Structure 1
Amino acid sequence: MLSVSTGCESRQRESNPPPPAAVSEAPAPAPDATRPVEQGAQPARPLPQEEQATGGSGQLVSVADLVEAVKGSVVNVDVRVRSPGLQDHGDLFERFFGMPGFPGEGGPAPRERIQQGAGSGFLIEPNGLILTNNHVVENAFSIRVRLDDGREYDAKVLGRDPLTDLALIKLQGNVKDLPFVRLGDSDEVRVGDPVVAIGNPFGLTSSVSSGILSARARDIQAGPYDNFLQTDAAINPGNSGGPLFNARGEVIGINTAIVGVGTGIGFAVPSNMAQVLLPQLQKGKIRRGWLGVSVQDLTPELARALKVQQDKGAIVTGVEENTPSARAGLQQDDIITAVNGEPVESAHALTREIGFRSPDETVKLTVYRAGQPREVRVKLAERPDLEGSSTEPSGDEREESGRRLGMRLQDVDPRLVPGATRGALIIEVEPGSPAERAGLQPGMVIVEAGGRPVNNPREFAQAVRGQSPGSVLLLRVQLGESRLLRALTIPEER
């Protein structure tokens, strides 16, 4: 497996590796052929075929006009994220359960540490809509965006999708008539075509690199919908969320990950994937189709053993009860070879094809059973949060619950809390608050509320919202290797 890291710059460490997830289911242009983007609601003008920055040999000659036309749309994204600090200011990844003075039975509380990070993004609308990576803005309490001309704005997250590492943010204030670029057709770009990356690697704003598209449809084990474009255009920490342009000045990828640092191998989310998700990102919630099956690739050897002529497809290895697949009559060892007549070449391709369809949509599957083809119609359901990466409820709701109780929470990071893999980590408790009166302290992990497991701060916020003012919510918390009970009185609404 490749050792892949994101291209997001952290000022406390060089890069933040993404959590691995197993897959479940032309002539040279004339001197003034292009112009810089002017202020006004006009996108960077796609270069006509005769003006593309390519020579007669098809090799990239100059990207100067292209860069001048689009660079005003590329932005720097600075974020701040809260992390619990160590009493002795030790390294973030140092063990601090069991350390002398760790909060608990009389020990002092750790000081909060603010992590700063930087990434890139690009404007897709003149009113300040920006596409970037989820890992750039995830858990950020402050987002500051700097434009190429030096102007700065605060921004807020409209929607995030951890499974494709995409996020949509919007500039705050009276924002209009900003330069922006259009998303191109990533299916049209061919291996060997020239590409240009613009971003802010290592804080070096508006850095440009060029290369070619090296490969398509790469699965780097970053998520269930991996379909990355691979490029040799230089991508480094800080490039995350920046655009990958074709020779017409259209965005055909969102730069996301690299193999090591300085290896010359980078990966970008295809623009067509972002195009499909944009309406949902604007609404703040991603809904995906779901079959409810486990699948694996059909290989030529398995095809012979199953006595079918096809050698590409997805073999059903399990059917979950009370799911669309079970209701449609799919069975173990069925081979799915097409969706609505479009061929399915692998289990990963099936997962991606279904996942980008709407829940409640009915699809026609071409299925081979005992060597005989048949058509099966399935009404899809909404995919559950199998990875525990849901962004619902919103961060504002989580923060409101925390302020109401007088504490701040964040997801558990096993590197910070050895022995804990789930729960809501308390990072700050306000003196005199309901949380303090309940005996809650920074460093504790809430793992149960009202008798129900708590996997993250979102689930804790849901548990709190279900309580009436004045009621007492029984919490189970983890502190080091100990499990303790706490009684939290729910206050009146502020």
Structure 2
Amino acid sequence: MVAVGNPLGLAGSVTAGVVSGLGRALPVRSGRASRVVEDVIQTDAALNPGNSGGALADAAGHVVGINTAVAGVGLGLAVPITGTTRRILDALRDEGRVRRGYLGLVGAPAPLPADVAARLGRQKGLRVAEVVPGSPAARAGLHAGDLVVSADREPVSDAQGLQRRLFAPSIGRTMPVTVLRGEAMVDVIAVPSELTDH
């Protein structure tokens, strides 16, 4: 792996290393909102302040990730290039910024009960750990303990599955969210607001 960036203000720097882990999770905070970026690439390519936003490329020169964080000495994290990151990069190129929807909940992947898993054809949902008071999720009636199985009629198995539904087109639009609450499937209607730094 090769990491490209401007570490410590030194423009055009390149460092080499290997991928030392896949599927890591990176907690991030934006103002009062916090979330988890999942499936992050861990590398031992030397990253320093200023590397963020630079490319992480393989030996063939293919960009596989965007350098995101220094997690310690000899440990860097990069967001992998996926459909979601391509949408972010397109929005940055076209509009100069990325608008994201905000629901106001914190969750983690959790197993579905066997009968529900068999009916839905998957093993996990997103267990709601916390709902931010006054947030769109709170106004919609979501509660800690709910197990989210779909949002906007698309399956949700983890935080990333929900975050993929929260790009600019979701802001101010009704979004059906189906949760398992106790033994009942419950549909709520959420209206994401725009995620801001305030």
- TM-score w.r.t. the length of structure 2 is 0.66
The aligned amino acid for 1:326 is: R
| Cα distance change of structure 1 residues 265 and 365 upon mapping to structure 2, 3 Å threshold | same
| Cα distance change of structure 1 residues 324 and 258 upon mapping to structure 2, 3 Å threshold | closer
The aligned amino acid for 2:126 is: G
Q: Aligned partners of 1:237, 1:331: CA distance in 2, in Å? A: 38
User: Is the CA contact 1:214–1:232 (under 8 Å) kept in the aligned structure 2?
Assistant: no
The aligned amino acid for 1:269 is: V
Which residue in the other structure is 1:429 paired with? none
For each residue in 1:187-215, what CA deviation from the matched residue of structure 2 results, as whole angstroms up to 9, or x when unmatched? xxxxxxxx222334453744341322522
Q: Aligned partners of 2:109, 2:13: CA distance in 1, in Å? A: 45
Deviation, structure 1 residue 335:
1.9
For each residue in 1:145-180, what CA deviation from the matched residue of structure 2 results, as whole angstroms up to 9, or x when unmatched? xxxxxxxxxxxxxxxxxxxxxxxxxxxxxxxxxxxx
Question: What pairs with 1:28-177 in structure 2 (closer than 5 Å)?
Answer: none
Which residue in the other structure is 2:81 paired with? 271
Q: Aligned partners of 1:219, 1:322: CA distance in 2, in Å? A: 23
Deviation, structure 1 residue 368:
0.8
The aligned amino acid for 1:313 is: L
| Cα distance change of structure 1 residues 294 and 285 upon mapping to structure 2, 3 Å threshold | same
Q: Aligned partners of 2:3, 2:35: CA distance in 1, in Å? A: 25
User: Is the CA contact 1:290–1:383 (under 8 Å) kept in the aligned structure 2?
Assistant: yes
Q: Aligned partners of 1:198, 1:322: CA distance in 2, in Å? A: 38
Which residue in the other structure is 1:313 paired with? 126
- TM-score w.r.t. the length of structure 1 is 0.31
User: Is the CA contact 2:105–2:132 (under 8 Å) kept in the aligned structure 1?
Assistant: yes
Which residue in the other structure is 1:231 paired with? 43
User: Is the CA contact 1:198–1:209 (under 8 Å) kept in the aligned structure 2?
Assistant: no
Q: Aligned partners of 1:371, 1:333: CA distance in 2, in Å? A: 12
Question: What pairs with 1:70-469 in structure 2 (closer than 5 Å)?
Answer: 195-201=1-7, 203=10, 205-212=12-19, 214-221=21-28, 224-227=35-38, 228-260=40-72, 263-272=73-82, 273-281=84-92, 282-291=94-103, 293-297=104-108, 312-315=125-128, 317-318=130-131, 320=133, 323=136, 326-327=139-140, 329-331=141-143, 333-339=145-151, 340-345=153-158, 348-349=159-160, 352-356=163-167, 358=169, 359-374=171-186, 376=187, 378=189, 380-385=191-196, 387-388=197-198
| Cα distance change of structure 1 residues 267 and 341 upon mapping to structure 2, 3 Å threshold | same
Structure in which a larger fraction of residues adopt strand: 2
User: Is the CA contact 2:98–2:168 (under 8 Å) kept in the aligned structure 1?
Assistant: no
Deviation, structure 1 residue 362:
4.5
The aligned amino acid for 1:372 is: A
Deviation, structure 1 residue 243:
1.0
The aligned amino acid for 1:270 is: P
Q: Does the residue aligned with 2:61 lie in a helix, a strand or coil?
A: coil
For each residue in 1:123-145, what CA deviation from the matched residue of structure 2 results, as whole angstroms up to 9, or x when unmatched? xxxxxxxxxxxxxxxxxxxxxxx
The aligned amino acid for 2:19 is: I
Q: Of the two structures, which has the highest relative contact order with CA contacts closer than 8 Å and spacing of 6 or more?
A: 2
| Cα distance change of structure 1 residues 338 and 213 upon mapping to structure 2, 3 Å threshold | farther
The aligned amino acid for 2:78 is: A
For each residue in 1:354-392, what CA deviation from the matched residue of structure 2 results, as whole angstroms up to 9, or x when unmatched? 433621445443311221224x3635332242x42xxxx
User: Is the CA contact 1:201–1:207 (under 8 Å) kept in the aligned structure 2?
Assistant: no
Deviation, structure 1 residue 244:
0.5
The aligned amino acid for 1:216 is: G
| Cα distance change of structure 1 residues 323 and 197 upon mapping to structure 2, 3 Å threshold | closer
User: Is the CA contact 1:259–1:265 (under 8 Å) kept in the aligned structure 2?
Assistant: yes
The aligned amino acid for 1:368 is: L
User: Is the CA contact 2:125–2:148 (under 8 Å) kept in the aligned structure 1?
Assistant: no
The aligned amino acid for 2:5 is: G
The aligned amino acid for 1:323 is: P
Deviation, structure 1 residue 266:
0.6
The aligned amino acid for 2:25 is: R
Highest CA radius of gyration, 1 or 2? 1
Aligned residues: 181
Which residue in the other structure is 2:120 paired with? none
User: Is the CA contact 2:125–2:147 (under 8 Å) kept in the aligned structure 1?
Assistant: no
